[in-house]
């Protein structure tokens, strides 16, 4: 009796690793190298990122976030990752390159956040609250109460206005702007850091300018009163008044201070984002 021929057995093609790659349960050595190199830059950056990189956030959470983000980002920037070097010296050079780039970008993103802390220190000095010290979660050492409040206000405004989306965009675009094959631009990084620090200090003076003018006028007026009435207890009468008027003026300009800061911070982050690409 005639029987139909059995259909040919089709097997799925077996993925073959490129020449020189070592396959494992986790993937090929090229895949692990790409993820690892991406993770090194992101981990160095996340350790200094405002909010996520603060001292109050445990280090293991920051590392876990950087590792999870590296798995997501690697397929997007795979074309910028160089192949696995054949020598240990070449691997070490690329590792140091990625760590330096991550620390440089993270430092620049955090420097402008110190603008609010500097402004808060100036305001505290002018209003008479410089002696009130409070633990600041954004930095290791404590600062004045107003400086701590402004630093926390800046973090809240960054995440409320979705500015943290620019962090993610800047981290991804950094692999195209600063590829691993290109040497670290130390001169440009130092110039950018110097300019950012200068802009931060000028911005801090601008945000605290009303309190500086108030402190100057108030102290001159108190000095005249002390000269006219030597027996009048100027210090005990002027200190509560300086505190009350200083805090009132600070509260009136708080909204403008936050808006000025967030606009300047957005302009600074635009340096690390590719436009039109």
Express each pLDDT in 157-177 by its tens digit.
888 888 888 888 888 888 888
**pTM for the whole structure:** 0.74
Distance between CA atoms of 80 and 32, rounded to whole angstroms? 15
Q: Percent of the chain, pLDDT > 90?
A: 0
Rg of the chain over CA atoms, in angstroms? 28
Distance between CA atoms of 127 and 68, rounded to whole angstroms? 46
Predicted confidence at residue 7, as pLDDT, reads: 46
Note whether 269 and 171 are within 8 A (CB). no
Torsion angle of alpha carbons 163, 165, 167, 173, nearest 10°? -130
Note whether 211 and 124 are within 8 A (CB). no
Please write the tens of the pLDDT for every residue from 36-58. Answer: 888 988 888 888 888 787 777 88
Higher-confidence residue of 111 and 17: namely 111
Higher-confidence residue of 221 and 137: namely 221
> Residue 23 pLDDT > 70, yes or no?
no
**Residues recorded for the chain:** 277
Q: In the predicted model, what is the mean pLDDT of residues 99-124?
A: 84
> Residue 76 pLDDT > 70, yes or no?
yes
> Residue 266 pLDDT > 50, yes or no?
yes
CA distances from 271 to 51, 104, 154, 235 (A): 20, 13, 20, 49
Least confident of 4-8, 124-128, 187-191, 255-259: 4-8
Query: Binning pLDDT at 50, 70 and 90, where does residue 26 land?
Result: low
Predicted confidence at residue 6, as pLDDT, reads: 45
Q: In the predicted model, what is the mean pLDDT of residues 81-96?
A: 84
Distance between CA atoms of 101 and 80, rounded to whole angstroms? 14
Q: For the chain, what is the mean pLDDT?
A: 79
> Residue 276 pLDDT > 60, yes or no?
no
Task: Give strand ranges (E) for 91-196.
Answer: 133-134, 143-144
Task: Mention every residue, 6+ apart, whose C-beta is less than 8 A from residue 158.
Answer: 50, 51, 164, 262, 265
Residue 230 DSSP symbol:
T
Predicted confidence at residue 10, as pLDDT, reads: 45
Q: In the predicted model, what is the mean pLDDT of residues 29-36?
A: 80
Which of 247, 173, 264 lies closest to 211, judged by CA?
247
Q: In the predicted model, what is the mean pLDDT of residues 14-43?
A: 68
Distance between CA atoms of 125 and 134, rounded to whole angstroms? 15
Predicted confidence at residue 11, as pLDDT, reads: 40
Task: Mention every residue, 6+ apart, whose C-beta is less than 8 A from residue 187.
Answer: none
Which of 155, 124, 261, 132 lies closest to 200, judged by CA?
261
């Amino acid at each position: 009796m005639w029987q139909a021929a059995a259909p040919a057995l089709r097997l799925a093609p077996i993925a073959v690793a490129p020449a020189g790659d070592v396959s494992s349960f986790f993937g090929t050595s090229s895949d692990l190298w790409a993820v690892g190199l991406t993770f090194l830059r992101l981990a160095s950056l996340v350790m200094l990122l405002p909010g996520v990189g603060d001292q109050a956030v445990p280090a293991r959470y920051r590392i876990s976030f950087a590792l999870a983000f590296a798995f997501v980002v690697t397929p997007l920037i795979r074309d910028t990752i160089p192949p696995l070097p054949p020598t240990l010296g070449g691997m070490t050079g690329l590792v140091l390159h990625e760590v330096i780039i991550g620390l440089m970008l993270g430092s620049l993103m955090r420097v402008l956040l110190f603008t609010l802390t500097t402004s808060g220190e100036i305001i505290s000095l002018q209003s008479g609250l410089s002696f009130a010290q409070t633990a600041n979660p954004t930095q290791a050492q404590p600062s004045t109460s107003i400086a701590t409040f402004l630093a926390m206000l800046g973090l809240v405004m960054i995440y409320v206005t979705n500015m943290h989306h620019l962090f993610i965009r800047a981290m991804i675009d950094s692999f195209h702007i600063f590829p691993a094959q290109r040497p670290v631009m130390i001169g440009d990084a130092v110039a950018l850091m110097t300019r950012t620090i200068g802009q931060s200090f000028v911005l801090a003076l601008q945000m605290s300018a009303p309190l500086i003018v108030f402190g100057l006028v108030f102290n001159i007026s108190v000095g005249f009163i002390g000269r006219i009435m030597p027996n009048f207890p100027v210090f005990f009468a002027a200190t509560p008044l300086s505190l009350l008027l200083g805090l009132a003026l600070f509260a009136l300009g708080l909204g403008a201070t936050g808006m000025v800061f967030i606009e300047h911070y957005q302009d600074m982050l635009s340096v690390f984002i590719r436009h039109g690409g």
